Every structure is written in structure tokens, then in C-alpha cells.
Amino acid sequence: MAKPRTAPEEAEGPEAAFTRPWHFVMGVAGLEQLPAADRPEVAFAGRSNVGKSSLINALVRQHGLARTSNTPGRTQELNYFAAEIATVYIVDLPGYGFAQAPKEKVETWTRLVKDYLRGRRTLARVYMLIDARHGIKAVDEEIMKILDEAAVSYQIVLTKLDKVKPQAVEPLIARTVAALAMHPAAYPEVAATSSVDGRGIEELREVIVAAMRGG
């Protein structure tokens, strides 16, 4: 019998993922709808309007893959994306922290995301997006607490760096790193990005690939 050939995607590894076309796989409104846990996945979390869709689109070099928070229907779901020859998933978590969100909406979000974060065994890392102009807010701290308690590895990613004065960037990163000392599951380094001028995007691709490999 012929020896089974190694699939090309296995041979190339996850770093090849960022050079391939990605597509929307499914929106998950309840945990029973999750796709099979058959590959590593990384999830992106952040307050509504933090720049999450823009960052995902910049990472995969595909404008329009992740839709903005304003896209009706997708805002309360875990959105799964895969590359054409898929070895990993990117999961776009629904944005949190709407100023006027109804209480039951917030509760639904919290329950779905908490259950996902606690129970998804193939979740390699969560990227917690923080607007560089605003820093870590109480609502972000709540999510970080969930991640700490669930022992889910996460990394802070500052977004919209182009909106911050150049001389303020280093102190901002230092402040953010210092704040992480209180968070046991947080990765000790902070990524600093701008989807507008492309700063930090390539570096973030590299750490994501490492995380997908379990590094």
C-alpha cells in the first residue's frame, strides 16, 4: 500500500497561513455550534471600536475579511476564519463595552465568551486589543480576569498607535507592561500596532505563528 503523503499544509506549517487567502467559516452563537477542535486557534478580543476588524484584515492582508462591529448579525457571535488550506483558525470575538448595551446582551456575550475561553482546548492564545489612546479600562480588566482565572494565555496588543505622539509610545508600553504584573496569564510583552501605517503588524504575525505552534 502506498505510504500516505504529508499534506502540503502540514509540511509548510502555520506561518504559510498569512500568505494565503482567508475566508469566513461560520458565526458561532452557542458553544454547541463550534467547529471541531481539530487545529490550533487564536482569538481576538477587545472593546467595540478598538480596531479589531482592521487589525485582523491587516494581519491577513485582506481588506474586508473581518467586518466592522457595525455589520448587523455578526456582532454577537464568535466569527471563525480559516485560510484556504486551513491549518489554524482565527476567531473574532464579539466586541464588548458598548456604552449603551442592554444588560441581557452583555450577559449573553459574557456567558458565551466565558464558556468559550474556559472550555476551548485548541485555543492557543487570546489577543486582547487595547486602544493606545485609552489604555486598559475597567471593562478590559474584567476580561483579563476571566482569562487569568481560566489560565488562558493572552497578549495585549495596543492598537491605533498612529494616534499617539511618538514620544508617548515608550512610556505607554512601559505602563502597560507594568500593569500586566498583576495578571498571571498575560504574556509579559506588549505588541504595539497601527493598521493605518502598518507598524507592528509583521511582528504580530510572527508571535501569532509562535503561539500557534505552542510557543
Binding range to ligand GDP, per CB under 6 A, among 136-144, 145-153, 157-165, 183-191: 157-165
- Which residues, in sequence order, are bridge partners of residue 157? 129, 191
Task: Give the number of residues in contact with ligand GDP, rule: CB under 6 A.
Answer: 18
Q: How far is the CB of 138 from ligand GDP (least distance, A)?
A: 18
210 close to 155: Cβ distance less than 8 angstroms: no
What residues from 102 to 131 belong to the interface with ligand GDP (CB under 6 A)?
none
| Contacts to ligand GDP from residues 15-74, by CB under 6 A | 46, 48-54, 68-69
Interaction residues for ligand GDP, span 173-212 (CB under 6 A) = 194-196
Of 87 and 159, nearer to ligand GDP (C-beta) is 159
Q: Which residues pair with 80 in a beta bridge?
A: 26, 91
Strand-by-strand arrangement of the 191-192 sheet: 22-28, 78-83, 89-92, 41-46, 123-131, 154-159, 191-192
Minimum separation from the CB atom of position 117 to ligand GDP (A): 18
Q: Give backbone dihedrals phi and psi of 121, rounded to 5 degrees, phi first.
A: -75, -20
Residues that bind ligand GDP in the complex, under the rule CB under 6 A: 46, 48-54, 68-69, 95, 159-160, 162-163, 194-196
